[in-house]
Structure formats: C-alpha cells, structure tokens
A and B are shown apart, each in its own frame.
Chain A
Amino acid sequence: MARKDFLDIASLTREEVEYLLEQAVPFKDLFTRSVKKVPALKGKSVLMLFYEPSTRTHSSFEVAAKRMSADVIDLDVPQSSVTKGETVKDTVDTLQAMRADYIVVRHEMSGMPLAIARQTKASVINAGDGAHAHPTQGLLDAFTFKEVFPETDGRKVLIVGDILHSRVARSTSMVMRKLGVEVAFLGPGSLVPRDGTEGMRRFTDYEEAMKWSPDVVYLLRVQMERQDAQFFPSLGEYHRVYGVTQERLERLADKGTYIMHPGPVNRGVELCHEVMDYERSLINRQVENGIAARMAVLFWLKPGTGSEPPMTTE
C-alpha cells in the first residue's frame, strides 16, 4: 500500500513497519559498495524545509536523497523564532509552484507537517515536529534494534530521561510497541507524563528498572535550557539519579545490555564519558542506519497521489 506522506508512526500498521524495515536492508548493503548511488529517484526533487536547527537529521536526509539520485534543494527558512502560519502558508505556496516531489519538514510546532501535507500534493516527510513525532528516528531505531534482535516480540526497551518534551520518546516507543517490544519509561516525575503513556511500564528508580532486565537502555538527550521552571535541580544530580554512570555501565556490560541514544550525547549527563568505547553501544550504528531507513521511506512514498493523509498521534 502506497502512502503520500510519512507523518507519524501511530498511523502505520505493523506490516507497514516490517515492510519498511525490510526495504532498508538492501539500501544499507549499498553503503559498503564502491558506488553507493542508485537511480531510484533520478529526476525527482527533495526540498528540505528545516525551521528548527538540525545537523544530524538534516545531513542524514540529504545523504539518503542524494544516494537515490534525487535533487536536493535546501530552502532557506527562518529558524529559531516561532514561525507564524502566514509565513508557512506562503512557503507552501512557493513549494507548490516549484513542483517539488518530496518535502522534508522539521518544525518546532507540533502538527505543522500535517498542516503542510494537507496543502500540497508533494509527499511530506516529518523530520520532527515539536514534541509530537519524529517517525524516521523511530524507524531507524527499530531497524537498529531488529538487526540485533531479529525476533522482536517480547523483547524489552527501557527509555530513560525527558519523556515529556521528547518526540523521539513518542515515536520510538510507538514503533517498538508495534513490533511487540515491551517499553518502559524511567525519568524524573516532572518529565514523565502521567497521562497518555498507558500500556507502558513506569519506573521511578534506576535499580528497579534494571531488575526488569531490559535488552536495550535507550537514553534521551536531557537539556536544561528549556526549563522555565526547573524540572530537576541540576545536571549533576540528574546524572547521579538517572544517568548511566561508570559503575552502572560496568553492570550493564555484565548483563550484556545494549545502549541506544538519538544523539547528540551530553557526556556526563545521560551517559558517562566511557560509554563511547562500550562494545554494546549502538549509537554510531543508529546514525548509519538512519540513512538506510530514510531511503526506504523516500522509496516507499508516492508523491502526488493527493489522498488525504491518514494521521493519528503518537
């Protein structure tokens, strides 16, 4: 089944997720060849519309599109300040005139990619909107997870940190659950929502969470800067209570637990410095897999089908 847009994980079926993950495998195999390019999207244009600064996701999409021979156009849009609807509508009208085939959108306002998708025939890919969704991150996380654990049902992932503000937590927990993976959250009470996380276990204590024996500990980036009223006292205290300290890393090694992180890592906060040498860290593999997963998404979508995008929430 073809779709016009890729806006969230929630609206995908398990079959669609599995299909995309299978599609990503041959794309990843390309990366080890001398010629890494395929002509799949030759003559097609991919517009990059990043209203929020991003290095990793932006580069990842750009590489993915170029490896499929698409033309990549980076639109110079205002970043940092809240972009009002008028500007967005003007931009969308411009894009429509440019007849782009794919639009990759990142925006600080939740729901903006949907709003754009409803106004254009181009395929819209959500590259992260507010705290709502980051579906290609979810997909690449699932891809990475499945490489390590081909049988996903009954596996366990513990997501640690700022669940409240994290679109990654929403998309990654959603995609994991679609694959039959059990998901639990650990984080400060001020950063784990009380409602909306039904069906997921909630731990308040690191040691208790470890007794649950997760296969993967997925650490979220924690920031102090967005705190208008503090969510926790200090980064140091966060590290001691919820972070993977050196001592905790050693115990994870003993149990054979994997570590994932969407990057960039705040060393000394979510993770101790030693984690970069940790043999079961999947962090670099996530970056590589991100390109393959995004190629699979670009390959799957059918621009111009004009169907109203199905859309649910993460």
Chain B
Amino acid sequence: MNLILKGGEVAGEEGAPRRADVWVEDGVVKGVGEKIAAPDGVRVVDCAGKLVVPAMFDAHVHFREPGQEHKEDIAHGTEAAINGGVTGVVMMPNTNPAIDSAAVVRMVLEKAGEVSRIPVYTSGCITRNRAGAELAGIDGMRKLGVRMLTDDGDPVANPSVLMRAMEYASEFGMFFASHCEVAELSGPRALNLGRVSYQLGIKGSPACSEEICMDRDIRLAHAAGAHVHIQHVSSGIGMETIRFWKERGARVTAEVAPHHLMFNEDDIGEYDTNYKMNPPLRLAEDNAALLEGLKTGVFDQIATDHAPHSEFEKSQDFVTAPNGITGVETALVSLYDRFVRAGDFGWDLLVKRYSAEPRRLMGLDPVPVEEGKRAELLVFDPNGETTFSREFMKSKSVNTPFLDRTLQGRIEMVVAGDEILLER
C-alpha cells in the first residue's frame, strides 16, 4: 500500500489540526508536510476539507464472547469498532464463562486472532466467576498479556477481598478497573433516583451508591499501593471525588462514557430502554460537570462501555430489560457532532482522550500521525453525515439511542499498518 492523503488537516494530541499532506507507504507514515509531491503510481486521496486523525482506542467494550453470542461476538464487535474509527479495544470479562483464567483468556485471544482485523486486548476478572469471593487465576492471565483486572458489571462487594487482590497483583504490574456501586443502595439497578424514577414508578439508584464505592476503591488502592481505574463515572460528585484523590497523589485514572456526557434521566421518556445503562443517566448538571471533568483532565479517557443486547431483551419492561447500550461505532461521530462542532472542545482533546491515553493505560504507544510512525489513522469528513441505520451498523445489536438518527460527521477511511480497514 502506498498512498498520499492530500489537502487535509492533521489532528494530534496538542493544538489545533494543521494543514498537511500525509504519505503512507508500507504501513508507515513516510512523510507529513505542507505539500508532498506524489511520485508516480502512488494513489492520491483527496482530503481537502477533511481531517487526518490518529485512530481511536476503546478500553471498555463488551463483546459477549464466549457465551452470549446472540448479543455480540468478537467478529462483529471488532467490525463495529472499525466502523467507528476504533483500531484497538479492551474486552470486559463478564462473559459466560467469565474471563477469569488463562484458559478463557487464551480462548478469547485465539478467537480474536482468527476473526479480528484489529488488536483485541482483554481484561481479566479479579475474582473467580466475578463472584467476589475467591481470587481468579491472576498469574496465568498475566502471562497471556492481561494487565487490567476487573469484575466489571459488579463491584467486589467485600473490601477485604479487593484490597488483598490489589496488594497481590500490583506487584505483577497489573492495575484494577472498578465498576462502582453499593448493591444494597442500588435497588433493581434500573435508573437514577430522582424525579424520573418517581414519575415512572421504579425504584431508583442514588448517585451516592456509585460515589461511596468509588471513594472506597480509591482508598483501598491508595492503601494497597495499587493503581485503580474508575470506570464510567456518571455523576458530578463522582468527578469531584476523582479530582480530590488525584490532587492527593493517589494512583487513580478514570474514564467517562459518551452517553453520560450527552444524555440525562429526562431522555428515558416513556420507558425507553435505549437510555437504560448502569451507572444510570443522571441529571443535566451532571452532564455539565462530567464535561468539565473531561476538559480539565480529571478524566484520562473516553470509553464507551459498548454493551450490546438483542432487540427482544431490550423490548422487555424497563426493570427487566438489561443495562447498557452499544457505543463503539457511534462514539466518535456523536462526540464530534455534539461537542467539537459546538466548540466545547477540539480534536486535540478527542485524540488525547479517545486515542492516546487509553493506549497508554494499556501500556501501548500512542499512534500520532508523524513521520516514521506506524500508520494507524482515519480520515474524517466534518461536512459529511452519518445515519446510524441497521444497515450501517456492524454490531450484532442496535440498542443505541442513535438508531436511525443522522449526525454530522463521517468516517471515510480507516488505515492500520499496511491495510485499509475501511473506505466509504
């Protein structure tokens, strides 16, 4: 492969996108410059008015394999990722069986090796079968490359179990990711406790359920000398909790999901289960606080918590319907449409928080569009449009509020190494 992306602007972690042509040869960025003359035989892609952007990385996806392949599998999940400009993912271990041993990790990675066109990383469970009691087979998973330990979907209820796991596995250079929740406070885990929960007549989960557990887990990590990564923070006080601990020097990182930035409990309307996830959507003031947290660096990264469920499962009543929405193929366009276009933040933030930092969290190198680096980039047309129709989406599931909605922005091409993964 040998091509020149001509006439576009190149986005990076720092500063505004700058005008430059990009020459990719044999999977490597051979040159970035104002005007690159195309040698004979090199394909020239007209990128005038478009952006050349480092490809994204999503450190929180549920690909449901093994065990729940009717919702998603690695083949469809990774194609959905590519469709969303994402060229690397970290799977969550709440599969069936759970990813809690070397055997299951090996199975997942082998499957990914067969069917995926992008690298797939997996987290591993802290406890066996995510039951919160016995520790999972940590060393075996580590030897297969697992770095992130989490019982995602549930917290480790017993703080003593979590603290010992932290003391043990931190010595192996592993870190912990926490789904924060106090089960006794959360009720049926359906929606936020507030006006909407009263009006819909469903027991709500208070934000303090998440905040208490978050604070607990950071304190435990602080005491154990561990690194804890807080997943999908949904509330303003949660954001402030992380800021407080970061200022105290705790080894804490955190992520925010696009849906928690964009939607709040009012969007649930008439029991719309495409706005049901855990932690739940909270208030408009939480949206604002989370955005502030993202802009000020309290949140290290954006991660989607891509959580596919079948249409039948989501068509059940609001309490019975499972938590979660898909995200990996809507995130970049929706973040552009909602925030970059409005001037809330720029491409530098998107690249830093949804491409570079999640890779760093996983011990990987970022993929800037710079001479001599491996080519891992996408071409984005800010004037194009994307309609998230069933036909457009590659995930096995369509449980997203964006279904059949048209947003501004369009991913035109995704390149990874020597391969054009996507071209529209």
Q: Is the CB of B200 within 8 A of A132?
A: yes
Whole-angstrom CA separation of A82 from B198 in the bound complex: 20
Question: Using Cβ atoms and an 8 Å threshold, which residues of chain A touch B194?
Answer: 195-196
**B160 interfacial by beta-carbon distance below 8 Å:** no
Are A167 and B271 in contact (CB-based, < 8 A)?
A: no
B158 at the interface (CB under 8 A from A): no
Cβ of A266 under 8 Å from chain B: no
A115 within 8 A of B: yes
Stretch at the interface among A63-71, A214-222, A295-303, A306-314: A306-314
| A115→B317 contact, CB < 8 A | yes
Chain B residues lying within 8 Å of A261, measured Cβ to Cβ, are none
Contact A314 B201 (CB under 8 A): yes
Q: A-facing mask of B272-294, CB < 8 A → 1, else 0?
A: 00000000000000000000000
B96 at the interface (CB under 8 A from A): no
Question: Does A109 lie within 8 Å of B198, measured CB to CB?
Answer: no
Whether the pair B197, A109 counts as a contact (CB closer than 8 A) is no
A134 to chain B: closest residue by CB: B201
Chain A contacts for B391, CB-based, 8 A:
none
> Are the CB atoms of B184 and A131 closer together than 8 Å?
no
Give residues 189-233 of B contacting A (CB, 8 Å): 193-203
- Least Cβ distance of B246 to chain A in Å? 31
Q: In the complex, which residues of chain A have a beta carbon less than 8 angstroms from the beta carbon of B197?
A: 195-196
Q: Is there contact, CB below 8 Å, between A196 and B184?
A: no
Please name all residues of chain B whose beta carbon is closer than 8 Å to the beta carbon of A112 when the two chains form the complex: 317
Q: How far is the CA of A84 from the CA of B193 in the complex (A)?
A: 23
In Å, the complex CA distance between A192 and B109 comes to: 51
Chain B residues lying within 8 Å of A129, measured Cβ to Cβ, are 201
Question: B406 in the interface, Cβ–Cβ < 8 Å?
Answer: no
Distance in angstroms between the alpha carbons of A109 and B200 in the assembled complex:
10
Is the CB–CB distance between B195 and A195 below 8 Å? yes
Q: Which residues of A (270-285) have their CB < 8 Å from a CB of B?
A: none
A74-133 at interface with B (beta carbon < 8 Å): 82, 84-86, 88-89, 107, 109-112, 114-115, 129-133
A196 to B193, CA, bound (A): 10
The answer to whether A313 and B200 have CB atoms under 8 Å apart is yes
Which B92-130 residues sit within 8 Å CB-CB of chain A? none
Q: Which of B77-85, B318-326, B372-380, B396-404 participates in binding chain A?
A: B318-326
Confirm or deny: A170 has a beta carbon within 8 angstroms of a beta carbon on chain B.
Answer: yes
Whether a CB of chain A sits under 8 angstroms from the CB of B170 is no
Q: Residue B316 at the A interface, CB < 8 A?
A: yes
**Interface code B344-382, partner A: CB below 8 Å = 1, 0 otherwise?**
000000000000000000000000000000000000000
Of A88, A89, A107, A111, chain B has the most CB atoms within 10 Å of the CB of A111
Q: For the complex, what is the distance from the CA of A84 to the CA of B197, rounded to whole Å?
A: 21
Q: How far is the CB of A167 from chain B (nearest CB, A)?
A: 6
Task: Please classify how large the interface on chain A is, using the bins under 10, 10 to 19, 20 to 34, 35 or more.
Answer: 20 to 34
When the two chains form the complex, which single residue of A84, A170, A314 contacts B316, counting CB atoms closer than 8 Å? A84
**Cβ of A12 to closest chain B Cβ, rounded Å:** 15
B322 to chain A, nearest CB (A): 11
Interface: B241 (CB within 8 A)? no
Q: Is the CB of A193 within 8 A of B198?
A: yes
Residues from chain B with Cβ under 8 Å of A131 in the complex: 201-203
List, in ascending order, chain B residues with CB within 8 A of A311's CB.
Answer: 270
Instruction: Determine if B317 and A170 form an interchain contact, defined as CB atoms under 8 angstroms apart.
Output: no
Bound-state Cα–Cα, A130 to B193, Å? 16
Nearest Cβ on chain B to A118's Cβ, whole angstroms: 9
CB distance from B321 to the nearest CB of A (A): 7
Instruction: Find chain A residues with CB under 8 A from B184 CB.
Output: 229
B201-A85 in contact (CB<8A): no
Pairwise interchain contact B317-A110, C-beta atoms closer than 8 A: yes
Question: In the assembled complex, which residues on chain A have CB atoms less than 8 Å from the CB atom of B386?
Answer: none
* In contact, A115 and B320 (Cβ under 8 angstroms): no
Contact across chains for B202 and A130 when beta carbons are under 8 A apart: yes
Contacts of A88 in B (CB 8 A): 316-317
From 65 to 85 in chain B, residues with beta carbon under 8 angstroms from any chain A beta carbon are none
Residues of chain B lying within 8 A (CB to CB) of residue A257: none
Beyond A85-B320, A195-B195, whether A167 also contacts B201 by CB under 8 A is yes
Question: Is A152 an interface position by the 8 A CB rule?
Answer: no
Question: Do the beta carbons of B201 and A115 come within 8 Å of each other?
Answer: no
Contact pick for B198, options A84, A111, A196, A312, CB 8 Å: A196
| A82 and B318 alpha carbons, distance in the complex (Å) | 13
Tell me the A5-42 residues at the B interface (CB within 8 Å): none
A213 at the binding interface (Cβ < 8 Å): no
Q: A195-B195, A196-B196, A312-B270 in contact; A110/B315 too (CB < 8 A)?
A: no
Given the complex of chains A and B, what is the CA–CA distance between A197 and B196 in angstroms? 10
Cβ of B316: which chain A residues have Cβ within 8 Å of it? 84-86, 88, 115
Task: Known A85-B315, A85-B317, A85-B320; judge A114-B271 contact (CB<8 A).
Answer: yes
> When the two chains form their complex, are residues A110 and B318 in contact, meaning their CB atoms are under 8 A apart?
yes
Tell me which of B202, B320, B321 contacts A132 (CB under 8 A). B202
Cross-interface CB contact of B201 among A82, A110, A197, cutoff 8 Å: A110
Q: Which residues of B contact A167 (CB under 8 A)?
A: 201
- Chain B CB within 10 Å — which of A89, A109, A170 has the most? A109
**B198 and A110 form a contact (CB under 8 A):** no
CA–CA, A115 to B313, complex, Å?
13
- Could you say which of A85, A115, A314 contacts B271, with CB atoms under 8 Å apart? A115
Q: For B203, what are the chain A residues with a Cβ–Cβ distance below 8 Å?
A: 131
A107-B199 Cα distance, complex, nearest whole Å? 17
Determine if A111 and B271 form an interchain contact, defined as CB atoms under 8 angstroms apart: yes
Inter-chain contact B319/A313, CB cutoff 8 Å = no
* 20 further interface pairs, Cβ-Cβ under 8 Å (given A110-B202, A110-B319, A129-B201): A86-B312, A88-B317, A89-B312, A107-B317, A110-B201, A111-B270, A112-B317, A115-B316, A130-B319, A131-B203, A132-B200, A132-B201, A196-B195, A196-B197, A196-B199, A198-B195, A229-B184, A313-B199, A313-B200, A314-B201
> Which 10 pairs, one residue from A and one from B, show the smallest C-beta to C-beta distance?
A85-B316, A196-B198, A132-B201, A131-B201, A313-B199, A111-B271, A110-B201, A196-B195, A109-B317, A195-B195
**What are 20 A-B contacts defined by CB distance under 8 Å?**
A85-B312, A85-B313, A85-B316, A85-B317, A86-B312, A88-B317, A109-B317, A110-B201, A110-B202, A110-B271, A111-B201, A111-B317, A112-B317, A114-B270, A130-B202, A131-B201, A196-B194, A196-B197, A313-B196, A313-B200
